């Protein structure tokens, strides 16, 4: 691999990249979203070497199918000091894609100032993608035709009217229902509250 060549893809392929979905993809940024650290699973999925992405803005893997409003709510939450979950479609170096659920946490120094952020990502079950993909497509179409503000208003109204919860809770619930199905298969039924507590350890497992 040419480690100097950190160019973004010129062609977007409708093809999922192959990566080990049991792994956790991790990256750390400074307070502005500049990449400071990525793990091996990040390189495998995104198809960039560590050298290529360190020091680059995190939007290097931004997929054009992602609506802007998804990142606006992410940054609004992080700037308010709130940890956050989001479902993201990412773009690889060769133009492929991968879907992940991301757990964002805020990194603070000993004085309590925010110095950066850490993102831990897991593969997303197909059933979750089937809910999120059409929503993101609608948001993107609204952004293209009516602008970002209209997309944000639609997103907030959708969350109020159709799911009656914040985006963060929506993502956690979508995911917990999927995990509960898996738990039932394993004869281990977990309650919603227990799930929320175990979500953290889920993001810290196997990588």
Ligand X SMILES: Cc1cc2nc3c(=O)[nH]c(=O)nc-3n(C[C@H](O)[C@H](O)[C@H](O)COP(=O)(O)O)c2cc1C
Contacting residues toward ligand X, per CB under 6 A: 27, 29, 33, 58-59, 61-62, 66, 68, 71, 88, 90, 104, 117, 119
Whole-angstrom distance, CA of residue 21 vs CA of residue 54: 23
CB of 114 to ligand X, least distance (A): 10
First to last CA, the chain: 23
Q: Minimum CB separation from ligand X for residue 21, in Å?
A: 16
Q: How far is CA 190 from the centre of its chain?
A: 24
Residue 163 DSSP symbol: I
- Output phi, psi for 8, to 5 deg: -75, 155
Min dist. Cβ of residue 99 to ligand X (A): 11
CB nearer ligand X, residue 58 or residue 196:
58
Inter-CA distances, 123 with 134, 139, 163, 168, Å: 18, 22, 23, 17
Closest distance to ligand X from the beta carbon of 136 (Å): 12
Nearer to ligand X by C-beta: 36 or 180?
36
Q: Which CB, 29 or 176, lies closer to ligand X?
A: 29
């Amino acid at each position: 691999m040419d480690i100097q060549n950190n160019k973004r893809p010129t062609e977007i392929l409708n093809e999922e990249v192959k990566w080990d979905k049991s792994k956790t993809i991790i990256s750390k940024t400074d307070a502005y979203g500049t990449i400071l650290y990525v793990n091996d699973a990040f390189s495998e999925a995104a198809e960039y070497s560590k050298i290529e992405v360190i020091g680059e803005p995190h939007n290097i893997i931004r997929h054009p199918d992602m609506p802007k409003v998804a990142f606006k709510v992410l940054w609004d939450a992080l700037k308010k000091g709130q940890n956050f979950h989001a479902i993201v479609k990412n773009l690889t170096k060769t133009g492929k894609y991968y879907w992940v659920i991301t757990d964002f946490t805020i990194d603070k120094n000993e004085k309590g100032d925010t110095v950066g952020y850490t993102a831990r990502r897991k593969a997303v079950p197909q059933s979750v993608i089937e809910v999120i993909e059409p929503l993101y497509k609608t948001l993107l179409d609204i952004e293209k035709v009516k602008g970002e503000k209209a997309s944000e208003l639609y997103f907030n109204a959708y969350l109020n009217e159709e799911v009656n919860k914040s985006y963060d809770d929506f993502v956690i619930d979508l995911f917990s229902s999927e995990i509960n199905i898996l738990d039932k298969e394993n004869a281990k039924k977990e309650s919603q509250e227990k799930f929320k507590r175990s979500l953290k350890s889920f993001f810290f497992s196997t990588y």
